[in-house]
Structure 1
């Protein structure tokens, strides 16, 4: 079984150019060649084609997670989640080191653990960043553009993590069939 990587989870096309059938007029064909045309040899470990329904599912899941954690930070006592900064950055460092180790080992288990740990850390960053923005606004920092960028990056990271988790889950379901 090939290790699941972010590119194999999110790449949808299994067709690509090869030395025989790629020409300047067809750079990276995304559909099968017509009948009678030379066939591309199968790629080893071709990524499966994923269902397009995982994108709206990941988006709705991200919006729900983001809304819940933002509201939790808004209604919590003031400055109660600011202590999470050190733990979250330590978690990111742990993720970096485990990703580096996994690039040499190719462990599916470590990749999956890294995905779920990343999702938890990004949820923590929503709490932390929301309360940090509130504190900055209370102390006079009205730079709302950068505050929005912080929260947008949190949203994008949660979406990315959820998309990869849903893609992996779908791949496992297809393999069992």
Structure 2
């Protein structure tokens, strides 16, 4: 029996959730494809961010010159601009991969600049915590889906919480409230994107169609990056 179960897992025939009507083989292949794309995005982000962190003149250029500041603003808004055509063309190959690369690289610049003036110890702590939490929540969601749990109900609550977080961030930009409020913001962001990791993983298992692999990867990538940045904000504030 154990050998049969092992063969089922290896061949991708294991049911992902009790009400599953489609072929488990196809859904497992879809999931592997998404996590492969996500891994590439995260590796690309680490590579770009590492260059910015270790090559100090790049970070100094962005924060000390007018041209650097303008370029920094452009790089900050480019990922949001790229999301629009990416959503529209996410099924059009190879344009979807080009847009995905543009989105990932420009967002990686923002991550790198967030880390550039942060202690290496804090970055390492945030990276380790992010890895542990993301892997744990992913495994939990797969386990829960197997037992019939559904997390679709989280969608409206998470969207409302995200709106509150965005308003909080805008207030913090216009009327800085101090270090404690920054740490509270980071804590709220980390909690909200923990919820989004579970929610988007559940959608990956049950709801995304096979042609939506790019958009599913983008959703999970944003969850991971925002969770990491939330942790970075907390640890940076706690370190003073």
Match of 1:67 among 128, 132, 135: 135
The residue number in structure 2 matching 1:155 is 224
Match of 1:85 among 131, 155, 159: 155
Point out the structure with max Rg over C-alpha.
1
Q: Distance in 2 between matches of 1:150 and 1:100?
A: 23
Does residue 1:127 correspond to 2:198, yes or no?
yes
The Cα offsets for residues 4-59 of structure 1, whole Å up to 9 and x where unpaired, read as: xxxxxxx9x8xx79xxxx9xxxx9xxxxxxxxxxxxxxxxxxxxx64212222211
The Cα offsets for residues 149-177 of structure 1, whole Å up to 9 and x where unpaired, read as: 22122111111111121111222xxxxxx
User: Which ranges in structure 2 are unaligned for 5 or more consecutive residues?
Assistant: 1-52, 69-116
Q: Distance in 2 between matches of 1:119 and 1:164?
A: 9
User: Do the aligned partners of 1:50 and 1:170 also contact (CA within 8 Å) in 2?
Assistant: no
Q: Distance in 2 between matches of 1:153 and 1:100?
A: 19
Name the count of aligned residue pairs. Answer: 128
User: Do the aligned partners of 1:73 and 1:127 also contact (CA within 8 Å) in 2?
Assistant: yes
**Pairwise CA distance, 1:127:** 0.4
SS in 1 for 2:207: helix
The residue number in structure 2 matching 1:136 is 207
User: Do the aligned partners of 2:126 and 2:231 also contact (CA within 8 Å) in 1?
Assistant: yes
- TM normalised by structure 1 equals 0.63
**Pairwise CA distance, 1:104:** 3.1
Q: How does 1:1-177 map to 2 (within 5 A)?
A: 50-76=118-144, 77-78=147-148, 80-108=150-178, 109-137=180-208, 141-142=209-210, 143-171=212-240
Q: Greater share of helix residues, 1 or 2?
A: 2
User: Do the aligned partners of 1:70 and 1:126 also contact (CA within 8 Å) in 2?
Assistant: yes
User: Which ranges in structure 1 are unaligned for 5 or more consecutive residues?
Assistant: 1-10, 28-48, 172-177
Q: Distance in 1 between matches of 2:124 and 2:177?
A: 29
Structure 1: 4+ residue segments shifted above 6 A? none
